[in-house]
């Protein structure tokens, strides 16, 4: 069937039909093999040579190209509400950026307002996500504990939400105290789900932030000085101990420092179900221009902050040791005008930066070509492990018969520089501006439809679906 499709520049014909990908180098988390993949009705129908196809099958020659499973980004924030306004990508624009970067599934968050029930907040968030072009789910965040919270978590669980996110930072808004965190851990542990946490010592950080402000230290530099690495690693250590006590699987989001890795590795050695995520910016960026002008420092106001080159190295090493299992982007872009909300008070700068479209190019260029990780490990942290940990495997995260036909055909040739002019995220800040990346996604297939071909988006593709997730497959 032929559908009309438009992107901002062109009117195109999007082709919805069976697809035969021929001679691609299929890369999974475990092996690499040159083979053909046949896609029928949105699923991977068969893998092998001389596969039967009809006269209407779209044949894609992938000789010399890599064939990866579509990416699963386990940590994104579309239109995250903040006092400076929502993060600047909504589910539609953010999912388009995701597609260009080979990500075909995202997991965002449900953060209720005080007094709102978790299932209610979940339903509202589902409606906000309806215009996503890629499949989606959510981690639900209890931000307070009351007599109904247990049942609310259980309700969300019955609706396919098997992971719950707790903020141990941000104590003045959404952060939980340790006692309530433990209640969440016990409840989710009994259900067989997983709790994820933003680990930073919330109360100590708030105290430091307020202290700096009170002595007229208002510049972005004090964002950094109020969030030292030990405040992350001490929080990680404490959270791991509480998860152990509660018997709950635990996942530390956006690990930024070598000091945290030590505690995660120790717990894993003892057999505890603890997992860690890091982000491209903690692998690749360090020592940002925080003492310069507001405009040069504000783009890098991210929590936890960027660290040192030795932390970058330790994180790459931890990926190879399976201490870090996934890469999430923590995609949370804000425009400069929004960042300016904190021009006179660093505490009001909205935290976050966008990068949903760069996970794959950065991992490929600086991870695989940079000889930090193997190409199979790249697939593991980009797609397979996020799918396994968050109960989406094998529907997502692999190239296997019966899996969703979410596929990236990656052309390793050529390179280009990331720039505000060629980005797809909606933001006037790009923390990777000027960085060179190699290769590009020649085709992105999503649910059996060609969504992107050589930079052209087929915007008539079906919208993404809400994914009901299973318990973690660990």
193 binds, options ligand URP, Zn ion, none, Cβ within 5 to 8 A by partner type: none
Task: Tell me how many residues contact ligand URP (CB under 6 A).
Answer: 8
Which residue of 302, 378, 387, 429 would you call a contact of ligand URP, by CB under 6 A? 302
Q: Write out 2-15 in H/E/C secondary structure.
A: EEEEECCCCEEEEE
161 binds, options ligand URP, Zn ion, none, Cβ within 5 to 8 A by partner type: none
Is the torsion defined by CA of 390, 391, 395, 399 positive or negative?
Answer: positive
The DSSP annotation for 433-457 comes to TT-EEEEEEEEEEETTEEEEETTEE
Strand 326-327 with 274-278, pairing: parallel
**SS3 of residue 167 by DSSP:** strand
351 binds, options Zn ion, ligand URP, none, Cβ within 5 to 8 A by partner type: ligand URP
What is the spatial distance between Cα 137 and Cα 126, in angstroms, rounded to a whole number? 8
Closer by beta carbon to ligand URP, 86 or else 412: 86
> Closest approach of Cβ 54 to ligand URP, in Å?
47
**SS3 of residue 365 by DSSP:** helix
Closest C-alpha to 384, from 400, 402, 369: 400
Position 355 contacts ligand URP (CB under 6 A): no
> Closest approach of Cβ 168 to ligand URP, in Å?
10
- Tell me which stretch binds Zn ion (CB under 5 A): 40-48, 197-205, 209-217, 276-284: 197-205
Site string for ligand URP, 11-40 (x = CB under 6 A): ------------------------------
Secondary structure E strands in 256-369: 274-278, 326-327
- Nearest 5°: CA angle at 377, between 238 and 137? 65
Q: Which of residues 53-82 bind ligand URP (CB under 6 A)?
A: 77
227 binds, options ligand URP, Zn ion, none, Cβ within 5 to 8 A by partner type: none
> Closest approach of Cβ 279 to Zn ion, in Å?
9
Closer by beta carbon to ligand URP, 352 or else 472: 352
Q: Do residues 220 and 290 make contact, with C-beta atoms less than 8 angstroms apart?
A: yes
352 binds, options Zn ion, ligand URP, none, Cβ within 5 to 8 A by partner type: ligand URP
Position 330 contacts Zn ion (CB under 5 A): yes
Which residue of 95, 303, 329, 395 would you call a contact of ligand URP, by CB under 6 A? 303
Establish whether the linkage from the previous residue to 287 is cis, with ω within 30° of 0.
no
Closer by beta carbon to Zn ion, 35 or else 196: 196
> Closest approach of Cβ 331 to Zn ion, in Å?
8
Position 163 contacts ligand URP (CB under 6 A): no
Site string for ligand URP, 311-340 (x = CB under 6 A): -------------------x-x--------
Which residue of 45, 65, 198, 263 would you call a contact of ligand URP, by CB under 6 A? 198
C-alpha 333, offset from chain centre: 13
Closest C-alpha to 391, from 468, 278, 279: 468
What is the spatial distance between Cα 184 and Cα 181, in angstroms, rounded to a whole number? 5
Q: In the chain, what is the straight-line distance between the N-terminal and C-terminal CA atoms, in Å?
A: 40
Q: Do residues 79 and 91 make contact, with C-beta atoms less than 8 angstroms apart?
A: yes
Q: Do residues 97 and 427 make contact, with C-beta atoms less than 8 angstroms apart?
A: no
Q: Give the HSE-up count for residue 316: Cα atoms under 13 Å, Cβ half-sphere.
A: 18
Closer by beta carbon to Zn ion, 89 or else 330: 330
What is the spatial distance between Cα 78 and Cα 72, in angstroms, rounded to a whole number? 15
Determine the longest span between alpha carbons in the chain, in angstroms: 74
Task: Tell me how many residues contact Zn ion (CB under 5 A).
Answer: 2
Strand partners, 164: 140, 195
Q: Where are the alpha helices (H) located in 321-358, listed in sequence order? A: 336-339
**In the block, which residue shows the tokens 């929004």?**
338
> Closest approach of Cβ 278 to Zn ion, in Å?
12
> Closest approach of Cβ 421 to Zn ion, in Å?
27
> Closest approach of Cβ 330 to Zn ion, in Å?
4
Which residue of 125, 198, 331, 339 would you call a contact of Zn ion, by CB under 5 A? 198
Position 352 contacts ligand URP (CB under 6 A): yes
302 binds, options Zn ion, ligand URP, none, Cβ within 5 to 8 A by partner type: ligand URP
> Closest approach of Cβ 366 to ligand URP, in Å?
21
Q: Which of residues 236-275 bind Zn ion (CB under 5 A)?
A: none
Closer by beta carbon to ligand URP, 302 or else 457: 302
Q: Give the HSE-up count for residue 124: Cα atoms under 13 Å, Cβ half-sphere.
A: 13
Closer by beta carbon to Zn ion, 53 or else 254: 254
Q: Do residues 334 and 352 make contact, with C-beta atoms less than 8 angstroms apart?
A: yes
Closer by beta carbon to Zn ion, 201 or else 398: 201
> Residue numbers of the site for Zn ion (CB under 5 A)?
198, 330
Positions that interact with ligand URP (CB under 6 A): 77, 198, 302-303, 330, 332, 351-352
């Amino acid at each position: 069937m032929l559908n009309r499709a438009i992107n901002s520049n062109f009117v195109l014909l999007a082709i919805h039909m069976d697809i035969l990908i021929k001679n691609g180098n299929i890369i999974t988390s475990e092996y690499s093999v040159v083979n053909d993949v046949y896609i029928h009705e949105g699923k991977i129908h068969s893998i092998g040579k001389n596969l039967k196809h009809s006269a209407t099958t779209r044949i894609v020659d992938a000789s010399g190209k890599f064939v990866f499973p579509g990416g699963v980004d386990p940590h994104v924030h579309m239109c995250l509400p903040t006092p400076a306004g929502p993060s600047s990508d909504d589910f539609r624009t953010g999912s388009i950026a995701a597609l260009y970067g080979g990500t075909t599934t995202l997991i965002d968050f449900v953060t209720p307002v005080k007094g709102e029930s978790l299932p209610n907040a979940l339903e509202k968030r589902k409606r906000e996500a309806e215009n996503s072009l890629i499949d989606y789910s959510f981690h639900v965040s209890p931000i307070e504990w009351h007599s109904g919270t247990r049942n609310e978590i259980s309700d969300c669980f019955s609706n396919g939400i098997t992971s719950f996110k707790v903020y141990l930072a941000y104590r003045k808004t959404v952060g939980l105290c340790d006692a309530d965190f433990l209640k969440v851990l016990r409840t989710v542990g009994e259900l067989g789900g997983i709790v994820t946490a933003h680990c930073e010592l919330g109360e100590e950080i708030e105290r430091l932030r307020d202290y700096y402000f009170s002595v007229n230290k208002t510049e972005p530099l004090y964002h950094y000085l109020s969030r030292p690495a030990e405040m992350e690693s001490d929080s990680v250590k404490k959270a791991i101990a509480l998860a152990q006590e509660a018997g709950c699987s635990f996942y530390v989001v956006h690990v930024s420092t070598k000091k945290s890795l030590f505690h995660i590795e120790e717990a894993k050695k003892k057999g505890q179900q603890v997992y860690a995520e890091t982000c491209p910016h903690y692998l690749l960026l360090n020592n940002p221009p925080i003492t310069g002008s507001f405009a040069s420092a504000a783009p890098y106001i991210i929590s936890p902050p960027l660290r040192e080159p030795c932390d970058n190295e330790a994180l790459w090493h931890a990926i190879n040791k399976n201490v870090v299992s996934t890469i999430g982007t923590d995609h949370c872009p804000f425009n400069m005008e929004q960042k300016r909300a904190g021009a006179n008070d660093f505490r009001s700068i909205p935290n976050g930066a966008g990068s949903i479209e760069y996970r794959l190019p950065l991992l490929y260029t600086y991870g695989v070509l940079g000889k930090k990780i193997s190409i199979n490990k790249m697939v593991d942290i980009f797609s397979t492990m996020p799918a396994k940990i968050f109960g989406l495997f094998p529907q997502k995260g692999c190239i296997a018969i019966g899996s969703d036909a979410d596929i990236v055909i990656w052309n390793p040739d050529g390179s280009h520089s990331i720039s505000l002019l060629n980005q797809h995220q909606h933001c006037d800040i790009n923390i990777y501006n000027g960085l060179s990346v190699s290769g590009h996604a020649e085709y992105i297939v999503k649910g059996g439809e060609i969504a992107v071909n050589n930079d052209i988006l087929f915007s008539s593709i079906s919208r993404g679906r809400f994914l009901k997730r299973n318990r973690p497959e660990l």
